[in-house]
Amino acid sequence: MLPCYQLHTRFIPARYQAALLLEYADAQDLSSQQVLAGSGLHEAALLSPDARLSPAEYLHLLHRINQLLPGAETALQLGQQLLPGQLGPISHALLQAPSLGHALDLLLRQQTWLSPLLAPHLMQLGDQTLLYWTDACISPRLRGFVVDMMMAAVTGMSRWLSGERLPWRYRFNRTRPASLEQYTVHLGSALQFDDCLNAMSIPTTWLAQAWPRGSQARMQLALDEASLLTAGGPRESLLAALYAHLSRQLRNTPCLEQASAAFATSPATFKRHLALHGTHFQAELDQVRTHVTLQLIHNQGYSNEQIAAWLGFHDATNFRRSFKRWTGLTPSVLRSRLLPGI
Amino acid sequence: MPILPRSALIVMLVVSCLCALLYGSLGTAKAMAVWNWMDIVGEGGTAVMSAIWALLILGSRPRGRVTSLLAGGLAAIMLGAWVDCLDEFFSIPQQQLWDNWLESLLTPGGMLALTAGLYHWRQEQWSLNEHMQKRERLFREHRSFDRITQLANADYLHRQLRMEQARQPDATCALILLDLDQFHRINREHGQREGDRLLQAVSHLLLLNMRPQDLICRYAGDRFAILLPATTAGQAAQIALHLQRALAGLAHHTRTGEHCLRITARSVWGVPGDDLEAFLAGLNARLEDDSPAMAAGLASA
């Protein structure tokens, strides 16, 4: 297994991610000194071809931008320009994506480069496809900002490449902001807050619709070229790797000891790594269970008893109480939201 | 040419020091025992505060007659208070009258200049209000203004709508939401700065095509809201159509002069009912129906 990246791993191409931020700040009449203040980074060094940022440094820059330009608009506008991006062959492949399905598949496979802070995942819920994000390397105060940025990025890219506004619906795992105008104009009015995950969904039929400028052959060509470039880099973040591990092991009563063994470290070290990312083992496990519950409810129509049994809970009451603790919602609330759009 | 705050600060400091020197050389120092601390703090404080006010005025207002009068008046009041304060430290022989003159001329003179400045400021405000008409109505909230278009934002619009309904519950007011087509492509293909320039051009054009009593706000992004007081849905439809035509006639030249961008816009309109939030949500949802056929305006009253 290739090594996972963590908060202080330097791998993000500064020339793209940082340059985009500085360019945006410049358009808002902010100097690069203002954005870089306190980061220990220098503009000239940042824009050199080989400069790499760690997620922590990237987060610091985003935090500065958010401080200097408060308001929901900043993240949404930044996101609009983010994809396909200027990442050489990877962006080129994205630009050639023949359909939304291909583009999302690429986003997931090249997550390290296209979305280093939040890991995107796909989930089928009935006739909807859900694109949802879990933490890769993030600080809690910026999670909302980066979620907005990534949602705007995917929205903007799919709108640009398909040539039309796609019927995305948005779900946010946070309380409803005081004013929604920026979200309405940049994303659309299908917005749901106080939800159990950060996701955007679309009817699955849209994934196969051909995009006007796409070409599978040219995309593949660019991808081959990209694989040469990304060969030495990290494949995914520690948290994303743990998420995948827990998803696989969910029915084998996963525990910290087992997980740390899979990552070839001691439980104490593993715990420390997780703490550095602002989380702990149980929280990560509960997150996976939440997402699986969502699928069991939507796709299998499972009752609380059946889900409790599937996840290895003692009984339905126990599961219900736990679910309420994980998400702040009861499973029945989730069921009542089953069919979006109706 | 009026002076910058920093040089103004230096001038005020130098003049204050000169006054102190004058008192020091012509008067005799009073013993510390007879200093009246209450007066010293009061007069010294007045001097310091007046100086701060003068500097704030110079720092925040464009140069001109009104600014000079306001700042000059405050500076004279500052000197008057300072001279008063120096009186507490030095006694000037009775037969010398200059210090009395200084005291009794500076403060009233400063007040006169300040009053004249305020009077002219009022007139200046009148002409500025005319300029701001259509951008703000009835009350001012500087924090609500958008940096790029200099239009008020959605918060301001919400408050205006509520106020309009409270003021005239019987009269109908109408609202138009106007959204530029394919604006995201301009940002992408020509850069954010060009997109911002286009938004400025659009807001100017809309302002020129509105009635004096109307209010325009930048709702968010490339969406504009136009509040039409005492207007029916039918009139709003005509106005919306006119604004769309006006935008279709705009030829926006990019900064480099290389490209000429043409834009079109979609608009929806309605008459707000009691639930403003639902009304705006409904208008926005209708704008999103991407159908090329124009969304028909429906009154929701």
Contacts of A70 in chain B (CB under 8 A): none
Q: Write down the pTM of the prediction.
A: 0.80
Between helices A72-80 and A55-68, what is the axis angle to 10°?
Answer: 130
Shortest CA distance from B221: residue in chain A: A185
> What does the pLDDT read at residue B63?
83
- Average confidence score pLDDT of chain B: 86
* A81:B192 CB<8 A: yes
Q: Between A and B, how many residue pairs show a Cβ–Cβ distance under 8 A?
A: 52
Topology of the domain comprising B142-299: Alpha-Beta Plaits (3.30.70)
Whole-number percent of chain B with pLDDT over 90: 42
- Cα distance between residue B133 and residue A97, in whole Å: 49
Q: What is the CA radius of gyration of chain A?
A: 20
- Cα distance between residue A291 and residue A285, in whole Å: 10
Q: Does the pLDDT value for residue B81 go beyond 80?
A: yes
B15 in contact with chain A, both atoms CB, cutoff 8 A? no
Enumerate residues 6+ apart whose C-beta is below 8 A from A91.
A83, A84, A85
DSSP 3-state of A24: helix
Two tokens at B128? 């500025």
Q: Does the pLDDT value for residue B296 go beyond 70?
A: no
- Cα distance between residue B71 and residue B8, in whole Å: 10
B219 in contact with chain A, both atoms CB, cutoff 8 A? yes
CA distance B205 to chain A (A): 21
> Given pLDDT bands bounded at 50, 70 and 90, which one contains residue A38?
confident
Suggest the residue from A73, A80, A182, A185 to mutate for an interface test with chain B (most B CBs closer than 10 A). A185
Pick from A24, A185, A186: which is nearest to B192 by CB? Answer: A24
Domain ranges of chain B: 5-131, 142-299
Q: Does the pLDDT value for residue A342 go beyond 80?
A: no
Q: A196-233 in b/e burial notation, b at 16+ Cβ within 10 A?
A: bbbbbbbebebbeeebeebeeebbeebbeebeeebeeb
CA distance A91 to chain B (A): 14
Contacts of B153 in chain A (CB under 8 A): 181
> What does the pLDDT read at residue B27?
85
Suggest the residue from B156, B288, B290 to mutate for an interface test with chain A (most A CBs closer than 10 A). B288
Phi, psi of B300 (to 5 degrees): -110, 15
> What does the pLDDT read at residue B299?
32
- Cα distance between residue A111 and residue A85, in whole Å: 13
List pLDDT tens digits, range B37-80: 888 999 999 999 999 999 999 988 888 889 999 999 999 999 99
Contacts of B154 in chain A (CB under 8 A): 179, 181
- Cα distance between residue A129 and residue A150, in whole Å: 17
Query: In the predicted model, what is the mean pLDDT of residues B273-298?
Result: 71
List pLDDT tens digits, range B211-268: 988 999 999 999 999 999 889 999 999 999 999 999 999 999 988 888 898 999 999 9
Pick from A28, A80, A165: which is nearest to B187 by CB? Answer: A80
Whole-number percent of chain B with pLDDT over 70: 93
Estimate to the nearest angstrom the gap between the alpha carbon of B235 and the chain centroid: 31
Query: In the predicted model, what is the mean pLDDT of residues A32-48?
Result: 85
Shortest CA distance from A181: residue in chain B: B220
CA distance A158 to chain B (A): 12
Dihedral sign for Cα B133, B135, B139, B141, please.
Answer: negative
> What does the pLDDT read at residue A16?
84
CA distance B182 to chain A (A): 9
A211 contacts A78 by C-beta, under 8 angstroms:
no
Contacts of B185 in chain A (CB under 8 A): 160
Helix, strand, coil fractions of chain B, as percent rounded to 5: 60, 15, 30
List pLDDT tens digits, range B236-248: 999 999 999 999 9
3-state secondary structure B80-98: HHHHHHHHCCEECCCCCCH
Two tokens at A115? 């979305």
> What does the pLDDT read at residue A178?
86
Phi, psi of A165 (to 5 degrees): -80, 120
A329 contacts A323 by C-beta, under 8 angstroms:
yes
Contacts of A77 in chain B (CB under 8 A): 192
- Cα distance between residue B161 and residue B180, in whole Å: 23
List pLDDT tens digits, range A273-322: 999 999 999 999 999 999 999 999 989 889 999 999 999 898 899 999 99
Two tokens at B297? 């305006």
* B220:A181 CB<8 A: yes
Pick from B153, B188, B288: which is nearest to A160 by CB? Answer: B188
Contacts of A182 in chain B (CB under 8 A): 220-221
B288 in contact with chain A, both atoms CB, cutoff 8 A? yes
E-strand spans in chain B?
Answer: 28-29, 90-91, 174-180, 215-220, 223-228, 251-253, 260-262, 265-270
List pLDDT tens digits, range B117-158: 999 998 888 888 777 777 777 666 666 788 888 898 888 898
For residue B184, give the DSSP letter.
H
> Given pLDDT bands bounded at 50, 70 and 90, which one contains residue A341?
very low
> What does the pLDDT read at residue B2?
45
Total residues belonging to chain B: 301
CA distance B285 to chain A (A): 6
DSSP 3-state of A54: coil
User: CA angle A211-A214-A216, nearest 5°?
Assistant: 120
> What does the pLDDT read at residue A281?
95
- Cα distance between residue A197 and residue A175, in whole Å: 12
CA distance A74 to chain B (A): 11
B182 in contact with chain A, both atoms CB, cutoff 8 A? no
* B288:A185 CB<8 A: no
> Given pLDDT bands bounded at 50, 70 and 90, which one contains residue A228?
confident
E-strand spans in chain A?
Answer: 12-13, 52-53, 118-125, 128-135, 169-171, 191-192, 198-203
User: CA angle B120-B126-B132, nearest 5°?
Assistant: 135
Pick from A24, A80, A184: which is nearest to B220 by CB? Answer: A184
Enumerate residues 6+ apart whose C-beta is below 8 A from B71.
B2, B8, B54, B57, B58
B268 contacts B297 by C-beta, under 8 angstroms:
yes
Q: Does the pLDDT value for residue A339 go beyond 60?
A: no
B299 contacts B233 by C-beta, under 8 angstroms:
yes
CA distance A185 to chain B (A): 6
> What does the pLDDT read at residue B4?
62
**Matching residue, tokens 């955007």:** A200
> What does the pLDDT read at residue B138?
67
Query: In the predicted model, what is the mean pLDDT of residues A89-97?
Result: 92
> What does the pLDDT read at residue B142?
67
Shortest CA distance from B156: residue in chain A: A179
DSSP 3-state of B152: strand
> Given pLDDT bands bounded at 50, 70 and 90, which one contains residue A192?
very high
Number of continuous H segments (helices) and E segments (strands) in chain B: 9, 8
